[in-house]
Amino acid sequence: MEDKLNVGIIGVGNISPAYINGSRAFDILNLVACADMNIPRAQQVAAENNLIAYSVDDLLADPDIDIVINLTVPLAHAAVSQLIIGAGKHVYSEKPLAVELDDARRILDAAEAKGVRVGCAPDTFLFSQHQTALKLLEEGAIGAPVAAFGAMAGRGPESWHPNADFFYKVGGGPMLDMGPYYVTCLLNLLGAAKRVTGSARSSFPERVAKDGHRIDVEVPTHVTGTIEFESGAIATLVMSFDVMAHSMPQMEVYGEYGTLRIPDPNGYKPREVMLFNGEWRVMPETYRSEWVRGIGLADMAYGILYGRPHRASGQLAYHALEVMHAFATASRTGQHVDIQSTIERPALLPVGLAARVLDR
């Protein structure tokens, strides 16, 4: 059996270097080609990284490519993922899986009909610290989780992102853009969500992009609320592009006997997992040096080759998307929103995926 899968990328914008480098961190991934609607950009990225520059059609027609990473903007995710699936290839999409829930469902249905896999970012819940936190929870370090808290609050991505318009259009906003990290992290730790309530507002009608042009805001930019899990635990979430500064923790889980403080699931730098059970302690990490984007894609590739489920799955992303949409729906209707989909909590990673020794 082959021990590598060939990978192509559609959409080589701002986040693509993270995937190009991430793919190269895992022996099972052989990144070979890229495409973009902006053809000169695809050619430039291909030249810089020793890849084949294709048109989207030619990349999809290449029979040697097994998995295509969809790094287009959120509003294009559904259509591009459908093209990838239609070509009989496995798709690994950036988040969100789709903007609309119906489109996300159609992606999962189409993939099932074609017999291909759907994977979806974020995969930060597979990073070392988050897996260490899950292991501590499973070992009963804080007893049964009672509640949790997650927050991402800042003054918006236009200060650093070169093409920030999409953050303020349908498909953007802090919940669909940043919520996936926090919601997926919570689902990984606490299991399936049961219902959601929330309040949301757009505090400022327009934003100023880096180059000075004005962006009309079309989505809520301050979204708060609670997720009630099937386990009974309740998480409070704050997702905001409207806050200048704050001192909220980024992620904490409160249990019967203690508290876990967990690093930011959108963070890149290794930070500590802290446990309180009488006093605060820094917990040793079970999983070392696995803080690399692409781990979810590598896990999917192993799943394909060795016939086992993968963790950053389409089902998990769909459940997260349903939860994220429920905040705005609850805000609009003034009612709790019951979550229709469910998930099995992803299994703990075996130690050493980054050492390329996953459970083969």
Ligand X SMILES: NC(=O)c1ccc[n+]([C@@H]2O[C@H](COP(=O)([O-])OP(=O)(O)OC[C@H]3O[C@@H](n4cnc5c(N)ncnc54)[C@H](O)[C@@H]3O)[C@@H](O)[C@H]2O)c1
Which residues lie near ligand X (CB under 6 A)? 10-15, 36-38, 41, 56, 71-74, 76, 80, 94-95, 163, 177
What are the DSSP calls for 208-264, one per residue? E-TTS-EEE--S-SEEEEEEEETTS-EEEEEEESS-S-----SEEEEESS-EEE---
Whichever of 145 and 296 has its CB closer to ligand X, that residue is 296
Whichever of 183 and 233 has its CB closer to ligand X, that residue is 183
- Which two three-digit tokens encode residue 338? 């019951």
The three-state secondary structure class of 119 is: strand
Q: Which residue is nearest to ligand X (CB)?
A: 13
How is residue 196 annotated by DSSP?
E
Q: Do residues 326 and 194 lie in contact, with contact meaning Cβ atoms separated by under 8 Å?
A: no
Q: Smallest distance, Å, CB 140 to ligand X?
A: 33
Whichever of 99 and 301 has its CB closer to ligand X, that residue is 99
How is residue 351 annotated by DSSP?
T
Please list the alpha-helical segments (H only) found in 62-100. Answer: 74-86
Q: Smallest distance, Å, CB 77 to ligand X?
A: 6
Q: Smallest distance, Å, CB 11 to ligand X?
A: 3
Whichever of 22 and 346 has its CB closer to ligand X, that residue is 22
Whichever of 76 and 337 has its CB closer to ligand X, that residue is 76
CA-nearest of 67, 68, 21, 64 to 45 is: 21
Whichever of 149 and 181 has its CB closer to ligand X, that residue is 181
Q: Smallest distance, Å, CB 96 to ligand X?
A: 7
Q: Smallest distance, Å, CB 40 to ligand X?
A: 10
Q: Smallest distance, Å, CB 72 to ligand X?
A: 4
- Which two three-digit tokens encode residue 216? 């009309």
- Which two three-digit tokens encode residue 310? 């993968």
